[in-house]
Amino acid sequence: MTDSPQRIGVVAESSTGETRVAATPSHVRHLRRLGYEVVVESGAGEAAGFADDAYTEQGARVGEAWAADIVLKINPPTPDEIGRLRDGAILAALIAPGQSPDLLRRLAERPITVLAMDAVPRISRAQSMDVLSSMANIAGYRAVIEAAHVFGRFFTGQVTAAGKVPPAKVLVAGAGVAGLAAIGTAGSLGAEVRATDPRPEVADQVRSLGGEFLAVEVAQESGADGYARATSEEYDRLAAEMYHRQAAEVDIVITTALIPGRPAPRLIRAEDVAVMRPGSVIVDMAAAQGGNVEGTVPGKTVITGNGVTIIGYTDLPARLPAQASQLFGTNLVNLLKLLTPQRDGRALIDFDDPVQRSVTVVRDGEQTWPPPPVQVSAAPPAPAAPAAPAAPPARRRLPAAVRFALAGAAMAALFLVIAFSPPRLAENFTVFVLSVVIGYYVIGKVHPALHTPLMSVTNAISGIVVIGALLQIGRGSTAVTVLSFVAILLTSVNIFGGFAVTRRMLGMFSKG
């Protein structure tokens, strides 16, 4: 084996209607920093708006990309494309290994290694390589845009001289990545958004985006791979009743429900579509896997007899080709960073790494799918038993005789001060001592978090100084009048500011 850097090939997509490319010109720069040479098939990025010259400006070469050591692609390869791969090559693409046993068998007949970008495990350290999430985010956004294009009026409510327009009501079935993107987009357009999902833990995410979560009161949980499990019969029955009620109320339905390795669950039945108002729109994002809606035609738009439009597009991410290519390419670059720890332009696959093991479905002509399970959601560890609190250190106390002697000396000193002081000083001193005692107990009995508002009130109450200033302001002396005016001004600021701060601080501790 030579130590020369490997070549990465970015090939053109052969699938009809595909506009994306596996790497953009900006990704070429990152790949070259990893030590790789990059060759791009002529015209590979044209549909996404990236000309060949843009790749060459970043250091890539335009040529035969299928002969490269590492081939980057979006869609699964055709039989002819598999034959174009060189022996020992690495192919990274969407493979759908759980639904494509025949494709896996054909790939394993060649001495190649195949990385399935749609098999990235849903763990924290693999999020930067998660192509499914990247494309689902774009698809959820685009689904709302497609619905808005077909829908006959505003999403947001408006009041005009010609009349009042109510906001559109949108129901999103499934609050995964695509669903959350759809909720956020529809909400930003001013629609009233509702969403449902069998996983109760996503309710807070829906609400954080301004949506209303419609719960089906049946226990459901996420699978260990981060996706929703298949729902129970009881859940399906109650959910069907809820979908029927909502179909009669909402204007737009967007369905996103998918379970890896299984056909898409049927959520919206023909009788649900029948009760929707004319002009309503349904976007079935699961059309490629059979659809969540009865009557969906993959890749087509259907208008029902009651005037409901059902959109079954299977290329939603490809309808934003530049953005989708950018995100897809970034996921690939992050994977190659993982495979190239030395930044020497040579990819090394480590099966001890759960991410690399999961995405590798064929290794040197041997099928390695399915991988061992990767634990995604684990039960939280049992809390450790609280340690016994340490005994506080014993406080040293003075002997009783010493304490009594000190108290007596203090009382005698106080008596002498009062006895030999002018009457007015004695009164003021008594008020001062009482203020210290009262202040100590007031502060000592208040929670530390409330000290700031308490001090603000105390400052406001001390504004009684303004009364003395008002009594002095008309004494005739210019100096006294000026000083009294300044005292009134500053004390007024103290009074109003103190109560304003107190109200604001106490508001931080109030609920609702």
Q: Two tokens at 27?
A: 């990704």
Is 79:55 a contact under the CB 8 Å cutoff?
A: no
Is 488:481 a contact under the CB 8 Å cutoff?
A: no
**213 beta partners:** 195
Quick check: is 127 catalytic?
Answer: yes
Antiparallel, parallel or unpaired: β 163-165 and 158-160 = antiparallel
Residue with tokens 């991988």: 371
Residue with tokens 């497609």: 146
Contacts with 330 (C-beta within 8 Å, 6 or more apart), sequence order:
27, 128, 134
Catalytic option among 14, 42, 127, 477: 127
Residue with tokens 């600021």: 493
**Spatial strand order in the sheet of 169-173:** 212-213, 192-196, 169-173, 252-255, 281-284, 309-311, 301-303
Catalytic option among 55, 110, 118, 133: 133
Catalytic option among 7, 110, 122, 357: 122
Q: In angstroms, rounded to a whole number, what is the distance separating the alpha carbons of residues 497 and 474?
A: 26
Cβ-defined contacts of 472-481 (< 8 Å, 24+): none
Q: In angstroms, rounded to a whole number, what is the distance separating the alpha carbons of residues 313 and 332?
A: 25
Alpha carbon separation from 195 to 65, 178, 250, 389 (Å, rounded): 44, 12, 11, 47
Quick check: is 102 catalytic?
Answer: no
Quick check: is 227 catalytic?
Answer: yes
Catalytic option among 6, 55, 69, 130: 130
Catalytic option among 227, 235, 269, 323: 227
Quick check: is 133 catalytic?
Answer: yes
Tell me how far the alpha carbon of residue 384 is from its chain's centroid: 31
Quick check: is 375 catalytic?
Answer: no
Kindly state the helix (H) or strand (E) to which residue 361 belongs, with its residue range.
Answer: strand 360-363
Residues taking part in catalysis: 122, 127, 130, 133, 227
